[in-house]
Chains A and B, each alone.
Chain A
Amino acid sequence: MNSSMVRIILGHILKIEAGFLLLPCLVALIYGEKVGLIYLAVAAGSLIAGIIMSIAPAEDKTLFLKEGCVATALSWILMSIVGSLPFYISREIPRFVDACFETVSGFTTTGSSILSDIEGLTHASLFWRSATHWIGGMGVLVFLLSIVSLSGGSTINLMKAESPGPSVGKLVPKIKSTARNLYIIYAVITIIEMIMLMVGGCPAFDAITLAFGTAGTGGFAIKGDSVAGYSSYVQWVVTVFMILFGINFNAYYLILIKHIKEVFKIEEIKYYLLVILASTLIIFINIKDMFGSWTDAIRHSAFQVASIITTTGFATVDFDTWNTTCKMIIILLMFIGACAGSTGGGIKVSRFVIMGKTILKEINSFIHPKSIKKIIYDGKPAEHSMIRSVNVYMATYVLIMAASLILVSFNGEDLITTATSVITCMNNIGPGFAKLGPTCNFSFLSTFTKIVLMFDMLAGRLELFPLIILFHPKLLRDLAGGKRRQDI
């Protein structure tokens, strides 16, 4: 294993995080908060550590898939720990495990919080919480690829490990331009949302943090009641942008280069919009009597559906009080998730489309046992390896979920709380049901449970395998062995 390359990537990640940590310093400066110094200190420490780690060049610059996965998983763990330091040092979140939980939840764009009094936080910390969503949404390694030229084309393995979805394609031949285009699209849509929110009378700080939360499909809000307190205009804007950020970013690139026709060929987007439409309609019918006017009802149902399917996790109402049909739909939406290649989490619509087609094919083969039919996806025959990876993903997903459920059950909560805690974390959503509903928080859980949920959040964001591979005995040995060799 090429551990020096992994070391260099981790060093770069620390440097990038140092750069991002300067943003809350700026906020602190504007609001005159002393906590900015802590952010500055952490940024400086992170920068120095990053420079030290990446100073010695690697002899061999090849990154195979395993190095890509290991570097990605370690990067995410490392940046979560570094990102949690300001919360912990400033005592805004006094327990280290809570600070970690909050940061992991931020970077993985989950949005589950352990804070009971959100408004009590400093502006800098509120900003940093939301900024972690934006950084984690498109992925920090993609950001790394967009600014530095790590030599060789094998860096695609980094992108593969970090980007959501069953298959990762490039937009343009060069990985650096691909990553850069993705980030430009991401930043531009985020800025458009900020402007639209501000036009609607939303204060600038609220608009920026809301836009960060929406863009990363994260769900941290700066108010205790999430988005409920904002005007209906703001809620509609957020709804639309949540749906937009849940769409495969390839679509935006195709629009930009004026290949509009090809956008309609992406099956996933069709099904994604269809599911949103159908769920909104069903929930609307179920809740229309709970609100004063049908416009309110449709707004709340659309907002909640968009928030859950894109795995954002904002809320405008306490949907824990809705009837069982609505709650069931919301739980199912949690699993479906957004499109591949978006900033959203969950299992992804594309995997469900492929699975659906596989099931249909299997049913047909009962009628014509010897018939041969290739699965067509996006107008092209799907490679066997892709179908296999979808199946394996599902099986692994179920196994990890089952194991997590058992581990979380030791905490002694009721069935719904236990089940939805794992579901909401693994799919990177945020709120659950019962004791973890939209108006509640995760702080009452035990340390052990929080660690399990942190693992689930990271596993969900990194699409399971990069994180699991970290525990492969051979890689562990290699990593340890690589370090030992350096010591000598």
Chain B
Amino acid sequence: MFGNKNNKKSGMNIIIVGCGKVGSALVERLAGEGHNITLIDKDAAKIQAVTNMYDVMGLVGNGGSYGVQVEAGIDTADLFIAVTDSDELNLLCCTVAKREGKCVTIARVHTPEYSKEAGFLKEKLGLEMIINPEYEAAKVMSRTLSLPMAEEVSSFAHGQVEMIKIRIPEGNTLDGMKIKDLGRDVTTNVVICAVEREGEVFIPSGMFILRAGDLISFVATRKDARGFLKKIGLKTGQIRDALIVGGGKDAYYLAEQLIRAGIEVSIIERNADKCEALSIMLPKAVIINDDGTNEEVLKEAGLHNIQAFIPLTGIDEENIILSLYAKRMSEAKVITRVSRNNFKSIVNTMDLGSVIFPKYVISDAIVAYVRARMNSMDCNIETLYHIFGSRAEAIEFMVENESAVTGKKLSDMKFKNNLRIAYIRRKNNIIFPGGDDEIHVGDSVMVVTTNTGFQDIQDILA
């Protein structure tokens, strides 16, 4: 009864150090999945606030201290996650934890200097995972910018497959089309996995009729996706230039990736010292030292003709206002980053272009890892994305052993409702499965579902 057995029912013992935005997002997600979480932070008020809302134990203290870790139960911990604001402290926390416990350690490392050496740090310090929320968010943003007409682009199967979210415009060929007619009339290599209509998310069947204004997520290989979009009359061209407001870490990561893709980047930053540092790190970018929340400054920077606009100031409200303004004044592709999501219901109703919640981006990665660890040996979670504001999940499973789902025709199995097998990847071939296809050992299977919390490929069975 007092044991800490690591079984499915009682969850894993997880210690999280740092109760900031990332820490509390992790608590929210992992506590929701039934794990035993101990949260450490120096700030008693923050601990108080989180422990009042979630079923976790709080501990006030320095997570890098051996004594505090012992008090938090490092000897029985399965997973140790350090996500304080300080990279050095995170690394120290994990090093101490590694010496003392038998747990898996994950550290947040986000300053560009260290993050370049992430691989080295991971190996030398014996960490299982290094996370960089700003870098991951920048990756999502740059992926979205690579296909500006899409709302969101996620990649699966090591970039071979993309899941793309688009809004069906008025008068499009898709308006009024049944999903099963898609193969006959447009293309066969595209699977529509999820549709959001009037705030509700559906996993559509073949009889589902698409309408203008629907947000659809479809899965296809990179090439086919672009072909499909061209065929239904959407532009797939790349952007030429981008304007970023705010010169924080995510702005740096984003600019770096955009420049590598050949996009001209301008960054407006208030703080002169930061500007100087950025100009050294990003010699190809235009760095403007001014207040990016000033209308005149934005005009001068050429907001009206810019093709992409990304406000990345430290304040959500500022970013939202800037996005609304840019949407009004220009044709630019706008990405809004919302760090805190206290008012998600409102944010979702506003015309903010693509909205990115960095804390989901990072907690997705960790949740995927945790669920995979929770599992028996027959399968593994390769990738996990929360789509449509975490109302649905897209999970890629690696099938490593025989189980109830292998070697049977899909049409012979009874699946849960609200679930769709998007593709099966077999030795780098992507199969968009029909009823006659089977899942084999060694395949990767991607599942899209509104049932959350799948840990194992067998969870798809009803």
Contacts and interface: CB of A to CB of B under 8 A. Distances in A.
Interface stretch (A16-24, A167-175, A435-443, A462-470): A167-175
Given A174-B55, A175-B55, A257 B2 contact: yes
Given A153-B31, A172-B36, A174-B36, A181 B55 contact: no
A154 B52 contact: yes
Name the residue among B10, B54, B55 with the largest chain A CB count within 10 angstroms.
B55
Interface in B1-20: 1-2, 10, 13
Given A153-B31, A181-B1, A181-B2, A173 B56 contact: yes
Contact of A153 (B1, B13, B51): B51
Contacts of B60: 380
B45 to A, nearest CB: 9
A173 B55 contact: yes
Given A153-B31, A184-B1, A383-B44, A177 B36 contact: yes
Contacts of A156: 51-52, 55
A457 to B, nearest CB: 29
A208 B31 CA distance: 40
A155 B37 CA distance: 16
Nearest to A181: B2
B52 A173 contact: no
B55 A153 contact: yes
A152 interface: yes
Instruction: Categorize the interface residue count of chain B.
Output: 10 to 19
Contacts of B44: 383
B444 to A, nearest CB: 34
A382 to B, nearest CB: 11
A155 B55 contact: yes
Given A153-B31, A156-B52, A173 B2 contact: no
A457 B288 CA distance: 70
B177 interface: no
Contacts of B57: 169-170, 172-173
Interface residues of A, number: 25
Contacts of A169: 57
Contacts of B55: 152-153, 155-156, 173-176
Contacts, number: 47
B53 interface: yes
A286 interface: no
A180 B1 contact: yes
B38 interface: yes
Contacts of A172: 36, 57
Contacts of B2: 181, 256-257
Nearest to A169: B57
A439 B457 CA distance: 70
A463 B172 CA distance: 67
A64 B60 CA distance: 22
Interface string B9-49: 01001000000000000000001000011100000100000
Contact of A173 (B1, B38, B53): B38
A155 B52 CA distance: 8
A358 interface: no
Contacts of A184: 1
A386 B237 CA distance: 61
Nearest to B70: A259
B62 to A, nearest CB: 12
A85 interface: no
Nearest to B39: A173
Interface in A416-436: none
Interface in B45-85: 51-57, 60, 71
Contact of B37 (A173, A176, A256): A173
Interface in A49-65: 62, 64-65
B70 to A, nearest CB: 9
Given A181-B1, A184-B1, A153 B54 contact: yes
A383 B2 CA distance: 30
Interface string B83-123: 00000000000000000000000000000000000000000
Nearest to A155: B55
Contacts of B54: 152-154
Contacts of B51: 153, 156
A157 B1 contact: no
Interface string A239-258: 00000000000000000110
Contacts of B38: 173
A256 B1 CA distance: 11
Nearest to B54: A153
Nearest to B2: A256
A180 B2 CA distance: 10
B56 A153 contact: yes
A367 to B, nearest CB: 30
A175 B54 CA distance: 10
Contacts of B10: 177
A332 B85 CA distance: 50
A254 to B, nearest CB: 11
A156 B52 CA distance: 7
Contacts of B56: 153, 173
Interface centre among B2, B13, B38 (most CB of A within 10 A): B2
A215 to B, nearest CB: 19
A364 B409 CA distance: 82
Interface string A217-257: 00000000000000000000000000000000000000011
B73 to A, nearest CB: 8
A262 B53 CA distance: 28
A153, A173, A256, A262 pick with most chain B CB within 10 angstroms? A173
A180 B36 CA distance: 15
A179 to B, nearest CB: 11
Nearest to B59: A169
Nearest to A184: B1
Interface in A173-199: 173-177, 180-181, 184
A166 B140 CA distance: 47
Interface string A156-169: 11000000000001
Nearest to B61: A380
Given A173-B57, A177-B36, 18 more contacts: A64-B52, A65-B52, A152-B53, A152-B55, A153-B31, A153-B52, A153-B53, A153-B54, A153-B56, A155-B55, A156-B55, A169-B57, A172-B57, A173-B36, A173-B56, A174-B36, A184-B1, A383-B44
11 contacts: A152-B54, A152-B55, A153-B54, A155-B55, A169-B57, A172-B36, A173-B13, A173-B57, A176-B55, A177-B10, A383-B44
Interface of A: 62, 64-65, 152-157, 169-170, 172-177, 180-181, 184, 256-257, 262, 380, 383
* A-B pairs, 10 with minimum CB distance: A153-B55, A153-B54, A173-B36, A173-B57, A170-B57, A173-B37, A175-B55, A173-B56, A173-B38, A174-B55
Interface of B: 1-2, 10, 13, 31, 36-38, 44, 51-57, 60, 71
